Amino acid sequence: MTIGRVLIPAERLQARVAELARQIDAESAGHDLVLVGVLRGAFIFLSDLLRALATPASVDFISVSSYGAGTQTSGEVRIVHDVKAPLAGRDVIVVEDIVDSGHTLHALLHHLQAHRPRTLRSCALLSKPSRRVLPMEATWTGFEIPDEFVVGYGLDYAERHRGLPYVATLRPEAPHEA
Ligand code: IMP
Ligand code: MG
């Protein structure tokens, strides 16, 4: 698979991240924010969001079992690496690359709730509403996109394309490219 068409150019990503940061700032006065990034797809989004926020925030990461090399999710979500930061009484925002079936976000919120945060919210760069299996919506969503597999800005296909500054679709390679 290779890059198809650019779905969200870099400038639109940056503008939307700034808007999300303004919204989070407006709804986080006096909060003790902890951004919990979901590895690995959210690491670029998280780093841009953190720098766009005016509210001070600490950062931690969590890792869950996911797709492997394919493009299908299952209902089984396993925590592979848990957060290290104490979350009790704090204001946690789960930062996700994309909400697809909703299984991952559902499992993460359930898991993090057990850490007894004061507030637990979520921010997803992308959402594919047409793919939902569970009725999950992040507190803040950057872009709703159609049911197409996308890469770039942290998102991968088989660990490739995370470094693209834009979000793009994939297409099968033409025979002469393979
Ligand atoms: P869900 O559990 O089905 O909501 O899937 C969420 C996870 O699937 C995301 O955190 C991504 O890691 C992965 N994912 C879903 N759709 C895409 C995509 O289009 N490109 C890359 N990763 C995706
Ligand atoms: Mg992910």
Give 120-175 pLDDT, tens digit per residue: 999 999 999 999 999 999 999 999 999 999 999 999 999 999 999 999 999 888 77
Residue-wise pLDDT for 52-108, tens only, equals 999 999 999 999 986 544 555 667 889 999 999 999 999 999 999 999 999 999 999
Residue in 98, 109, 123 to alter for ligand 1 test, most ligand atoms within 8 A of Cβ: 98
Give the predicted TM-score (pTM) of the model.
Answer: 0.94
* Alpha carbon distance 157, 152 (integer Å): 9
pLDDT at 68: 46
Q: How many angstroms separate the alpha carbon of residue 148 from the centre of ligand 1?
A: 11
Query: If you write DSSP's letter for every residue of 67-93 in order, what string do you get?
Result: -TTSS---S---EEE---S--TTSEEE
In the three-class reduction of DSSP (H, G, I as helix; E, B as strand; rest coil), residue 161 is classed as coil
Pocket of ligand 1 (CB under 6 A): 38, 41, 66-67, 73, 96-104, 149-151, 155
* Nearest ligand 1 atom to alpha carbon 157: 21
* Nearest ligand 1 atom to alpha carbon 155: 21
pLDDT at 88: 98
Instruction: Tell me which DSSP letter residue 147 carries.
Output: S
Contact 144, 132 (CB under 8 A): no
pLDDT at 73: 61
Residue whose CA is at the smallest distance from ligand 1 atom 3: 101
Query: If you write DSSP's letter for every residue of 4-57 in order, what string do you get?
Result: EEEEE-HHHHHHHHHHHHHHHHHT-TT--EEEEEEETTTHHHHHHHHHH-SS-E
130-143 in b/e form (b: 16+ CB < 10 A) is eeeeeebebebbbb
Residue whose CA is at the smallest distance from ligand 1 atom 12: 41
- Cα→Cα distances 16→52, 87, 94, Å: 10, 27, 18
Q: How far is CA 124 from the centre of its chain?
A: 5
Is residue 26 very low, low, confident or very high in pLDDT (cuts 50, 70, 90)? very high
How many CA atoms lie less than 13 Å away from 85 in the CB half-sphere?
Answer: 20
Cis, bond preceding 90 (omega within 30 deg of 0): no
Contact 64, 104 (CB under 8 A): yes
pLDDT at 1: 86
